[in-house]
Amino acid sequence: MTPSIPMTSPKSAVPPPAGPSLTIAQARRIAIAAQGLHRPPASTGGSVTAAALVKLVRRLGLLQIDSVNVLARAHLMPVFSRLGSYDTALLDRVAWPATSRGERHRALVETWAHEASLVPVETMPLLRWKQQQLATRWERHARRLRAQHPGVIEEIVDIVRDLGPRSAGEIEAELQERAHQPRRGQAGWWEWSATKQACEFLFGTGVFAVARRRGFERLYDLSERVLPPEIIATPTLDPADAHRALVAHAATAFGIATATDLADYFRLPVAGARRAVAELVEAGELQPVAVDGWREPAYRHRDARLPRAVDGAALVSPFDPLVWFRPRDERLLDFHYRIEIYTPAAKRVHGYYVLPLLIGDRIVGRFDLKADRATGRLLVPAAWREPGVPTGPDLTVRAAGVLRSLADWLGLGEIVVAETGTWAQDLRGVLGGPAR
């Protein structure tokens, strides 16, 4: 994705009048196709290349990162949902090369986009406004940090410059060494909270980048040693121009969306997104449309196709672009979805870590899933069929096939379906009950 050419004249932020009408079924098919979920994943393992993976991320715009690891890391699942079984080391190599020689293969980089995310390296100039915004927002905290621990931020930059990629813990240890304070239990200006805060401030504002990860621990380095020189040299766009380019990319990934949907994709200010939408409509890149039942105006990207049918089958994680904006879920997919990880167990409705199952153009069910790596089992504590979804063996067999593909990808040899949920009994009939 390359920065768009700045427009010289301001455009109205008022949504243009609605154009052609679409049914909700048509809007779903457009959106599912744009997300690459309109057909079953083709891979059965080993056939996904790094080039195909990077192409997918460029299409989606980003992969959200999250620390939850009940099943698989958040950034890994969207690739599996679309491409099928793949070697996750491919993603590590193009995002976090393990050696300096691997830097030339870095195609993705970690930053704040839709929350913490992996984005194509060429997207970074479009996100500098966000780094500048974070610098302004966090300046009060940075002043307090400097007042409490004079010199800490500058010293941390010096350490990373001198020693190369380091974790916050390693930086803390080096600060302790340089401060000559070896006594345990004695807090100094280098204490962990100050170190971590400073590293996150430097990362969020673009001084640091994440060179690689050790397990799931960030190793920070100077941005100019992580990003390609041509990216560093790219001029910084005016925020309005960057917003327009990001909205255009969100519209490509969504296919059809409201201005609010488009703003959420890269977490843009809604007013800025609306201005960008109006400019893109005038430029012919977005087409205003009316979708049955939607109160807000909708916009279809000029390249978004409307397939006659969609026949994909995929589990999507809570951090997948298809479902991450909950108001859109209800409007587009007629699907009420909430993450219940932080809900007390007694108050959970569907389970701890629940993934929706998309088959065709409908969310047909949701499964509470856990990878029990110690015993090599994919656990299904609960399996729910969505209200109104017809019962029948064909759909159950297909759902079971998706679960088998997931288990195979994760290297889990057994699937254990518990008795909870409206789909559990039928799935147990196909997959078998708990191990004895």
Residue ranges of E strands in 232-309: 256-257, 286-291, 298-301
Q: Where along the chain do the CATH 3.40.630 domains lie? A: 338-432
Note the CATH number of domain 21-124+239-301: 1.10.10.10
Rounded Cα gap, residues 20 and 299, in angstroms: 10
**Is 338-432 in CATH node 1.10.20?**
no
The rounded mean pLDDT for the chain is 90
**27-41 average pLDDT score:** 96
Contact 57, 86 (CB under 8 A): no
Q: What is the pLDDT of residues 36-70, one digit of tens each?
A: 999 998 765 568 999 999 999 999 999 999 999 99
Q: Which CATH architecture has domain 140-180+193-233?
A: Orthogonal Bundle (1.10)
Q: Where along the chain do the CATH 1.10.10.10 domains lie? A: 21-124+239-301, 140-180+193-233
Distances, alpha carbon 119 to alpha carbons 114, 124, 174, 266, in Å:
10, 8, 31, 11
What is the pLDDT confidence band of residue 308, given thresholds at 50, 70 and 90? Answer: very high
Best CA proximity match to 221, nearest among 142, 175, 162, 172:
162
Q: What is the pLDDT of residues 71-97, one digit of tens each?
A: 999 999 999 999 999 999 999 999 999
Rounded Cα gap, residues 299 and 280, in angstroms: 10
CA–CA–CA angle 38, 411, 106 (5° rounding): 65
Strand partners of residue 147: none
Predicted confidence at residue 435, as pLDDT, reads 39
From 54-63, 167-176, 245-254, the region with the lowest mean pLDDT:
167-176
